[in-house]
Amino acid sequence: MTLAVGIAGCGAVARHHFPALRAARGVRLAAAFDLDPAAAARTGAPVAASLEELIERVDVVAVCTPPAAHADVAVAALEAGRGVLVEKPLATTLA
């Protein structure tokens, strides 16, 4: 089985995830999304036009956004039934 993985947020932290995902057996880097489409394009993965599109195209979402957006992205993916890998912290508040 091959898992289709998408990266949400393609800045400095995500640069560490790209090589690991490409090297992992059973994983395909299926999509990337960033508010800056050029940053998503630099990943070499197909670029999703929105977070919603990214979530639709993958089995697992790697959340590499700034910390303030982690929870919102993770919850959206989980509500769609996707697996989630979140950089710490999961959220910036307890609310």
User: Hey, which residues are catalytic here?
Assistant: 88
Provide φ and ψ at 2, rounded to 5°.
-110, 130
Q: Which residues pair with 5 in a beta bridge?
A: 29, 60
Q: Name the residue among 50, 43, 42 with its Cα closest to residue 22.
A: 43
